[in-house]
A and B are shown apart, each in its own frame.
Chain A
Amino acid sequence: MNEKVILLVEDDPNDVDLTLRALKKNNIKNRMDVAQDGVEALDYLFRRNKFKYLEERKLPEVVLLDLKLPKIDGLEVLRQIRKNEQTKLLPVVILTSSKEEQDLINSYKLGANSYIRKPVDFNQFSDAVRNLGLYWLVLNETPPGMVD
């Protein structure tokens, strides 16, 4: 299995569908797993609880992380990812509605690799997703040893 998986952490099903649609529209055929809140995202990444028996040991190629999430918010998820030895080098892209200065600063401080504001206009959104896919799934080389 050499498939590059994307993890989308997003609680809004509309946004999930629109992201999927944008991927499809841009011919990005990689698998996209979705975590609907912060807890699920961390369980998925650390193979805990309902993801304990997930056979696949490979981490996603990139995490698209929303900031406003139920249970544990995006910034906390990012902190946990960076704290963990296995995931600390994992590429994390913040994909969120706002570009509040404080969010930008905090995200980069905690080690986000990129920050993208989700445009309201779907065409722009689609462009953003295409660029994301192109960059993180094709151009970018992940650090070695990302296999658990």
Chain B
Amino acid sequence: MKVSKVKSPGRCLVSNLNIKTSMKPEIPEEIVLKWQGILDLMCRILGVYARFVKKVEPPRIEVFIASATESNPLDKEVRADSDTGLYNVQMIKQRGLLPVPDELKDLDWEHKTEIEMGMNNYVRFPLEWPDGEIFGTIYVLEVKDNQNTSDYKDLLSGFKEIVERDLRFILDSAEREELVAELQHQIKQFKQIIGEQATELERLNKEHLKEITERKKSEQALRYAQDELEQRVKERTACLEAANRELEAFSYSISHDLRAPLRAINGFSQALLEDYSNKMDSEGKDYLRRICAGANRMDLLINEILKLSRLSRAELNIKNLDISALARIVSIELQKKERKRKVEFKIISGLRAVGDSKLLRVVLENLLGNAWKFTAKKKHAVIEFASKEEPDKDSGQTVYYVRDNGIGFDMTQAGKMFIAFHRLHNEKEFPGTGIGLATVQRIINRHEGRIWAEGKVNEGAVFYFTLGKIC
């Protein structure tokens, strides 16, 4: 039987096969061979003409295995099939054995090879994948009508069992493979991710290490700088301490040794005046008096200088205090010394300050004392103590001030007045040692504050000061 006779070779497209199937794995070659063997054996046992396994792959139905019987009109290799799928659909829907004792003797079917050969009796039996989807059919062509024998059914059922077991195995294997592939893919991805992360980690590590090294370096540099600074502070402190000791020794020496000669000058001049007054004219006596006064004056200056140096060294006793009250006390004392003078004091009440009360009193004694002194010629002298409404622009500290309407000063001289022994006015007119403002500045400095003055000749003076944050 030559298949080449078949007029419509190849695959027959079945348009009305309305069955949905999912992608299924290929049937391996060895399984196909096994099925072929069984199929051939069954043909021999049953003595049938032809058997096929038709595979249904909508919309295609193809001859998958054809028995090697000589009477087989269809050849597997050519895959010729003229099946319209009509019975297939019926069988698939029925899911059971479909015996067709006498195939339709329709004229349309006449041309079919098997019918031409008289094989118009056939049986179909569905073959299913484990998931219930149809794989295909076993298809037996017969000349005789013996499809209802139990041998027939048993063998077909047996073959169906074998095929379906194999299908289960194939599907399981495929699933397993798919799973393995998926797993391998995942492993691969995972490895990639790990690899990327490892690279990133390595990069970060490197960066980190670099950072650590740099930090260590800068820490070391910092420590080095700190050590150096500490060393310098130590050295400077030692220097300062030495200078302080020297200063103390110096002032101690001044205090003791400079006075003795002055005492001698004054004492023996006095002795001359007393014991030899009849041997001197008035001019001689005047000279001696001047010598005495000079010595006394020098004693006074020494005293002031020592006071100034003591102020620089004395420990500060910082407290929050009522500076207005302090100013009032000082003003009362000034008034007591010169009761004849009429001076109006305008002292704002309740001003607070943080500082050493003893030293701040010295500040006020000097500033208010100066104001008192330089308003001596004023008919209506006014001395004010208050604070500015606005705090100091640079430091934000309260600005206190002492204002008078006295003789004032030339602003071009303003810087010099805080220098020790520097006087802006004639000593005869306004007596003093010239050390008062230097003392005040020293005290303000020790309080980490600032002092400055404003004035105009004959129009009074204002002395401003701040006290730093030394709480």
Contact = CB atoms under 8 A, between A and B. Distances in A.
Indicate whether A and B interact. yes
Interface of A: 12, 14-15, 18, 21, 67-68, 96-101, 118-123, 125
Contact of B256 (A98, A101, A122, A125): A98
Interface in B429-465: none
Most buried by A among B251, B255, B271: B255
Interface stretch (B8-16, B134-142, B257-265, B277-285): B257-265
A45 B266 CA distance: 32
B87 interface: no
A68 B263 contact: no
A67 B267 CA distance: 20
Contacts of A98: 252, 255-256, 259
Given A120-B295, A120-B299, A123-B270, A18 B256 contact: no
B271 A21 contact: yes
Contact of A100 (B252, B260, B266, B267): B252
A28 B279 CA distance: 27
Given A18-B263, A21-B271, A120 B296 contact: yes
A21 B267 CA distance: 9
B16 to A, nearest CB: 128
Nearest to B263: A120
Nearest to B252: A100
Contacts of A101: 310
A121 B299 CA distance: 9
Main secondary structure of the interface of B (DSSP, over half): helix
A89 to B, nearest CB: 28
12 contacts: A14-B267, A15-B264, A18-B267, A18-B268, A21-B271, A98-B256, A99-B255, A100-B251, A119-B299, A120-B298, A122-B263, A125-B267
Interface in B283-328: 292, 295-296, 298-299, 310
Given A14-B260, A21-B271, A120 B255 contact: no
A121 B252 contact: no
Contacts of A68: 256-257
B264 A118 contact: no
A131 B369 CA distance: 33
A96 B271 CA distance: 21
A14 B263 contact: yes
Interface string B135-179: 000000000000000000000000000000000000000000000
Contacts of B268: 14, 18
Given A21-B271, A100-B255, A122 B260 contact: no
Contacts of A100: 251-252, 255
Given A120-B263, A122-B267, A97 B256 contact: yes
Most buried by A among B259, B260, B261, B266: B260
B256 A96 contact: yes
A97 B260 contact: yes
A96 B263 CA distance: 12
A97 B259 contact: yes
Contacts of B271: 21, 122
A119 B262 CA distance: 10
Contacts of B255: 97-100
Contacts of A125: 263, 267
Contacts of B266: 120-122
A118 B259 contact: yes
A109 to B, nearest CB: 17
B252 A122 contact: no
Contacts of B299: 119-121
A121 B300 CA distance: 11
B55 to A, nearest CB: 123
Contacts of A96: 256
B262 A120 contact: yes
Most buried by B among A21, A96, A118, A121: A121
Contacts of A21: 267, 271
A100 B252 CA distance: 7
A120 B257 contact: no
Nearest to A67: B256
A51 to B, nearest CB: 26
B264 A18 contact: yes
A125 B261 CA distance: 14
Nearest to A99: B255
B314 to A, nearest CB: 9
A12 B270 contact: no
B294 to A, nearest CB: 11
Interface in B78-114: none
A58 B251 CA distance: 39
Contacts of A12: 260, 264
Which 9 residue pairs of A and B lie closest in terms of their CB atoms, listed nearest first? A98-B255, A120-B299, A14-B264, A122-B270, A97-B259, A122-B267, A18-B267, A120-B262, A97-B256
Nearest to B262: A120
Nearest to A13: B264
Interface in B215-268: 251-252, 255-257, 259-264, 266-268
A107 to B, nearest CB: 13
A97 B267 CA distance: 14
A12 to B, nearest CB: 5
A121 B260 CA distance: 11
A99 B307 CA distance: 11
